[in-house]
Chains A and B, each alone.
Chain A
Amino acid sequence: MRIVKHGKLAAGCADACCLKLEGISVNLQGDSILEDVSFHLHCGEIAALIGPNGAGKSTLFRSILGQMTYKGTITFSPAGGPAIRLADGTAAGGRRPLVGYVPQAPHFDRGDPVSVLDFFTAATAKWPVWLPVPGKHRKRAAACLARVHGEDLLDRPMGVLSGGQLQRVLLALALEPVPHILILDEPLSGVDIEGEHQLLDMLDELRTQYDLSIFLSTHDFATLSQFADKVILLNRKVLKSGTPEEVLSSPEFYETFHLRMGKGGEG
């Protein structure tokens, strides 16, 4: 794992922190969704968030994105800039970190008259896309799609893209502008094996190229050890975090997913 040193750092962090969550709790209408969630994420690191449905994975992402009210502190230390500390969901001085977000793939109907270029331009430029998109926006979109090897998708309607292609377009969008941290909500669901490999290779490429912290949720445990530096097992609280091997062999993991321990296990 590569660790990037920063100029100005979050207090109490081992000189290389990119994202630090301390005691994050979320309550919704009296129900506790997240309870005292704390962990660190370093630059250039890929962390996978796993947990059963309803474990609070999306809520945790939305807290980091600033779309939820939470208790606790989230600190970003972007490379080359001063740390941004968000206590209880409000940023000091109104600054917000740049978080790239790849949502769970939206549903497009096959007939939706939205081309990849329309979608991209609508999200990144002021030019109203109901008028013909001028060349300079086209070039910019093509350049952004090139980052995910998707230049050829530019004029395709969004509705006809495969799961993997759609994920790549959303990824290209999340990388424009290049964020401090990249969050992907279940990027591997609805993607075939080939698309999955392509996507994981691309994430690996991106983190070395941009020193990005990448934080994704997944239900695909088989591939975890191939790409994740760190795995966080969440079910309202952080039950276990560590390397993929550590988490996948832990009693907490087996208990959470109602699996039987093999021989030599503790359960």
Chain B
Amino acid sequence: MEWWYTLVSLLPFDWAQPGTMLFMKHALLAVLVISPLFGILSTMVVHSRMSFFSDALGHSAFTGMAIGALCGFHEPTWAAIVFALVFALLFNLVRRRTALANDTVIGVFSSTAVALGIFLSTLGGRSFTKFNNLLIGDILSVEPAKIGVLALILAVVVGLWCLSFNRLMLSAVHPALADSRGIRVFWQETVFSMAIAVVVTLSMTWVGLLVINSLLVLPGAAARNVARNMWQYHLLSLLGAVAAGVAGLMTSYYIGASAGAAITLYLAFWFLVTFLFRKRG
């Protein structure tokens, strides 16, 4: 982490001085890793109309934490990741085999996951309050090892985007056409939803469950207002996410308040700006 401390010390902020405020430096690095992740995933969440699904995933991630805690794991996050992956796979399997509308299937899964989470975490008369921090999130508590894991996930998502973005996009646009060109639509969708599952679960602790879905929806939605092709779409989504991430962290440091909420408010403002300049016709 020394390279990062040195780099940050070039910034003209009092917390950036050498030897002070390590938690803030960690938080900044974490934001610089998390926000591009959400910026990239957001494009396809919006494009393939999966914002309700990613919301449901957030709920399932909390349930995974509850299961992990119940099993007495020191690190319930890993149990939560496994649970979220199973959730994503099951959801895709059920969606493929039912005549029900997408949002209905999501509703079924989401409510089941939340109920299970609350049930398990209050089992035996225990208090729910220890999960409160998951709802709001705290970016300032992030540790270097976790940032490493997030950076690894970012590399995996970028790799996925390089190798199979085209197939993913065609699957979202027209499954039958994609199929006729040899694309395995089911696996494209499943791998994508699993990627969302992992990202949501890993970053929930720092961003907060209540606002995490806005990070998956707002960057893409704002970019969609003005973008005319995929490159503009990605560029604007990524820039919006990173700028809002950094601005939100600063705001939260200087005036208090949750960083996750501040980031979301900046993104909402970014959405408003692009909405005013939206493309017409």
Alpha-carbon distance A132/B235, docked complex (angstroms): 10
Known: A103-B180, A123-B181, A130-B234. A157 touches B165 (CB 8 A): no
Of A65, A99, A119, A125, chain B has the most CB atoms within 10 Å of the CB of A119
Q: By the criterion CB–CB under 8 Å, are B225 and A121 in contact?
A: no
Q: Which residue of A lies closest to B177 (CB)?
A: A103
Rounded to whole Å, the gap between the CB of A17 and the closest CB of chain B is 23
| A121 contact from B166, B174, B179, B232, Cβ within 8 A | B166
B204 within 8 A of A: no
Of A110, A113, A123, A160, chain B has the most CB atoms within 10 Å of the CB of A113
Alpha-carbon distance A133/B232, docked complex (angstroms): 11
Alpha-carbon distance A67/B174, docked complex (angstroms): 14
Q: By the criterion CB–CB under 8 Å, are A103 and B224 in contact?
A: no
Number of chain B residues whose Cβ lies closer than 8 Å to a Cβ of chain A: 31
B43 within 8 A of A: yes
| B279 contact from A67, A99, A106, A111, Cβ within 8 A | A111
Q: By the criterion CB–CB under 8 Å, are A113 and B166 in contact?
A: no
Contacts of A215 in B (CB 8 A): none
B229 within 8 A of A: yes
Q: Which residue of B lies closest to A158 (CB)?
A: B173
Main secondary structure of the interface of B (DSSP, over half): helix
Q: By the criterion CB–CB under 8 Å, are A130 and B231 in contact?
A: yes
B176 within 8 A of A: yes
Alpha-carbon distance A126/B179, docked complex (angstroms): 16
Of A115, A121, A133, A155, chain B has the most CB atoms within 10 Å of the CB of A115
Q: By the criterion CB–CB under 8 Å, are A113 and B232 in contact?
A: yes
A222 within 8 A of B: no
Contacts of A130 in B (CB 8 A): 43, 161, 165, 230-231, 233-234
B250 within 8 A of A: no
Q: Which residue of B lies closest to A118 (CB)?
A: B230
Q: Which residue of B lies closest to A116 (CB)?
A: B229
B170 within 8 A of A: yes
Contacts of A129 in B (CB 8 A): 165-166, 169, 230-231
Alpha-carbon distance A111/B274, docked complex (angstroms): 13
- Contacts A/B (CB < 8 Å), 26 sampled: A101-B177, A103-B174, A103-B177, A111-B224, A111-B225, A113-B223, A114-B173, A114-B229, A114-B230, A115-B228, A115-B230, A118-B169, A118-B229, A119-B173, A122-B167, A122-B169, A122-B170, A123-B166, A123-B170, A126-B166, A128-B162, A128-B166, A129-B169, A130-B165, A130-B231, A170-B177
Binding site for B on A (CB under 8 A): 62, 65, 67, 99, 101, 103, 106, 108, 110-115, 117-119, 121-123, 125-133, 155, 157, 160, 170
